[in-house]
Structure 1
Amino acid sequence: MKGACHCGKVGIKLKNPPEYINFCDCSLCLKLGGAWGYFSSADVSVDGVTSAYRRVDYDAPAVEIRFCTKCGTTTHWTLTEHHPGNRMGVNMRIFEPAMLAGIEARTLDGRNWFGEGEAEHRRAIGKLGQDVFL
C-alpha cells in the first residue's frame, strides 16, 4: 500500500494493510485528524522530510507525531524514549479510501482513557466503506 501527504512530499509504503483502524478522540488525535493503523516499524517505509511534535501536557509522552514540513499533513507517529518499542502508527487518512474498504474501524474513547487498562469504544466496531466512512 502506498499513501502520501497532501502535497506529495512525504510518502508512506506499507507491506500489509492494518488489522484495524483506530479513530481516537483524545485531545491530541482529535486535533490531528488521525485515523491510526498500527504496524511494526519494519513494515513501514517513510520517504520525505517530516517534522516532529510531542505532547507538552505529559512529562513523558509516549509518541512523537510526524508531519510534512511543506503541507503540514500528519503522516505517522513513532514511540519516544519514554516508551521504547517497535510499534508505530500511520495516519490511514493519507491513503485512498478505496484501499481501506472492508478494514475494521474502531472508535477509541480517548477522552476518557489514559493508557491504563483496556480502552472503551464510543461506537460498535464497523467496517470502512460499509457502515463507517474515512
Structure 2
Amino acid sequence: MPSYASAPLKATCHCGVVTLEVPHRPREINECQCTICRRYGAAWAYYPPKEVKITVKDGSPTKAYVWGDKESEFHFCSVCGCDMYWKAIEDRPEMGVNTRMMDPDELHTVTRKIDYEVLTTCLKAGAEAHPQDKAQY
C-alpha cells in the first residue's frame, strides 16, 4: 500500500508557465465523466485550496472557463492551453488538480476511479445543462 505522507508533487503545464505543488500523493484519482471533464481528458485529485501552491511565470495569468451552474472555474495555461485545475467560485473545501500534468511515475500506484453516476446527476440550473447531458430534468 502506498504511503500518502509522500513528498510534495508538482504538476506543470507543457510550456512550464504554470506549476502547481501539492503536499502529497492523492489517495485516488477521479476520471470524471461529466460532459466537460471527459472532453478535457482530465484526471482529478482533490485537495483543500490552501494546500495547493499555484505559481505562474512571467505574469501570464491562467485563462478560466465557467459553465453549467457557474459553481466552478476551469483554469488553463494561457500560453500552451493545458487544463491545470478547477476551483469553486464560492468557498468550497476542495479543488481539483489535473494529475495528467504530474509525472506518471509518481502516480502509477494510485487507484483510479471512474464514476458514471455523474452522467445522470442534474445541475441545479437545468437550463444551463450541456445538450449532451443525460440527466433527466
TM bucket (normalised to shorter chain) is 0.7 to 0.9
| Mapping 1:98-117, distance limit 5 Å | 98-109=105-116, 110-114=118-122
* Greater strand fraction, Structure 1 or Structure 2: 1
1:61 corresponds to: 70
Relative to structure 1, the CA distance from residue 104 to residue 114 in structure 2 (aligned partners, 3 Å threshold; closer, same or farther) is farther
Q: TM-score, normalised by structure 2?
A: 0.75
Secondary structure of the structure 2 residue equivalent to 1:27: coil
Which residue number corresponds to residue 63 of structure 2?
51
Instruction: Please name the residue that 1:130 is paired with.
Output: none
**Aligned-residue offset at 1:62:** 2.2
Shift, 1:45, TM fit: 0.5
**CA separation in 1, counterparts of 2:123 and 2:51?**
24
Contact 1:67 1:75 in 2 (8 A): yes
* Unmatched segments (≥5 aa) in structure 2: 1-8, 125-137
SS at match of 1:98: helix
Q: Provide TM-score, normalisation by structure 1.
A: 0.77
How far residue 101 of structure 1 moved from its aligned partner, in angstroms, is 1.5
**What secondary structure, in the 3-state scheme, does the structure 2 residue paired with 1:24 have?**
coil
Q: Is the 8 A contact 1:16 1:43 kept in 2?
A: no
Name the aligned partner's letter for residue 91 of structure 1. Answer: N
Cα distance in structure 1, aligned partners of 2:70 and 2:28: 24
CA distance in 2, matches of 1:90, 1:115: 22
Give the Å deviation of 1:115. Answer: 6.5
Distance 1:67 1:93 in 2: 13
Return 5+ residue gaps in structure 1 as ranges: 117-134
Aligned residues: 111
- Deviation string for 1:84-111 (max 9, x for gaps)? 2231000000001101021111002132
Kindly report the root-mean-square deviation, in angstroms, between the aligned alpha carbons of the 2 structures: 1.5
1: CA distance, partners of 2:115 / 2:81: 24
Aligned identity (percent) is 31
